Structure 1
Amino acid sequence: MIVLAATPIGNLGDASARLIEALGNAEIVAAEDTRTAIHLMRALGVENRPRLIALHEHNEREKASEIVELARTSDVIVLTDAGMPAISDPGFPLVEAAAAAGVTVTSIPGPSAVLTALAVSGLPTDRFSFEGFLPRKQGDRLRVLTALADERRTMVFFESPHRLGDSLADVVTALGADRRVVVCRELTKLHEEVRRGTAAELALWAADGSRGEICIVVDGAPERVVDLAAGLAQVQSLVRDGSRLKEAAADVAEATGLSKRDLYQAALAARA
């Protein structure tokens, strides 16, 4: 089988007993960086020296079939440099190929920067989305953020320290200066820092740059308060564009939280 094994994101003490046992018994390890994997095993006191295969963003699609075939007869431990493989790290094409080939995939759960940042942020955790790394170019970054302007769930992003200030400035532009934001830096490490504030406040704080591994947690969009008259206008607009009345009422109800029945009845009354 293929075993996706989570590794510490900072503090070596977060390595699980299952991870240490698996590495101690492993015959094959597919690692994002084989040098990092060797260093991790030495740091954990693992004396086993398994066969190492490099599996990174530049070769993972080409290597997937080879590793899947190896996993038919041996367990293959998959490691990334930190955290859970396949979550904004190499691993997804391998899992996709294994699922298509009928090869079992399991995991050794453990540290996750996404969940750690979300948990300590103080922002709502009942619903959230992970958006990965923001684009490098400002135009692309603004397009991504603008598309998320109405996202109601808490959002988690990864960002490089040298782009943090620019990205937070773009959050101000796309989502508003008062949107609540939390920057989590160096999670689980000695100099861990969790800084909370508005988008404008944190953009100013980060303007001169930062250091370390960064997660940005952004509050979801506030609920829009739409009265029945405004909702009716939206229903009527959809109907004029060709939607059936029931479908238009349902769409507007889902988007605004208004009653579908009330919208439908109001639209019928407006026709009379």
Structure 2
Amino acid sequence: MTNAVKKGRKKSRGIVRRSAKTIFAFFYGMPIVWIILTSFKQETDVFSTQSSLFFSPTLSTYRKLLTSSLFESFTNSIIIATCATVITLLVSIPAGYALARFSNKTLGIGLTALIIFQMIPQTATIIPLFQIFNKLGMLDTLPSVILADAALLTPFAILLMRPFFRSIPVALVEASQIDGASSWQSFSKISLPLARNGIATTATLIWIISWGEFLYAVNLILSPNSYPMSAILAQQVGGFGIFWPGLMALSVLASLPVAILFIFTYRLLREGLTLGAVK
């Protein structure tokens, strides 16, 4: 096969890849464009064919939404997502390390249990959690949602952390123990620093999922004034219809923290998830 033929095939494959990426970007990007455009429309212009792309933009919907109650919902979402992430990491990091470094029948059963827990529908846990938090006097409080989110995401975080710790060479840990380091020192001074990309990746994913979690937020918090952003979105759907400009504007505002976080952590996420797939 001549070099010209090889170059031609390589060029053809490149064109196919770029075309596929363009098509996927179009189909994924169009809903986002529609959401942003709709947030600047009047309600009468939402389904008008004449004003689908060309219309007089207005900020009236954003002016109505930007109130103190919206900022309170933002604060509640930040508190829930951050606290749930911290609790999840405190449990999943040592658990993931144990599952990666030690091998026995008990840990094998634990790993199987984690996989089974991941298959339990979230809706099946609503009533038990509601009754538990009601008896504890924690219903209609942010800690109830924080603990529920942490319980939901901990198995996922453990399964995500395990490959990162498995990718660390065992020889490094054993060498530190030969030099006199205890198990805790090997974990805290060797394994944790080497797994920092994995920890940051897991923390980012857990925070994003907790930010958008809806089911626990709307069922465990009974006062609309204490709703996070995910539950506030549902209020735009009423018995007489959907206020589309408000729903789309809220969607844009609720997506901003996630978009900003993704922009700053995209490279970290890509490298971390790739590293976690080594073993």
Normalised to the residue count of structure 1, the TM-score between the two structures is 0.21
Q: Which structure shows the bigger proportion of residues in strand conformation? A: 1
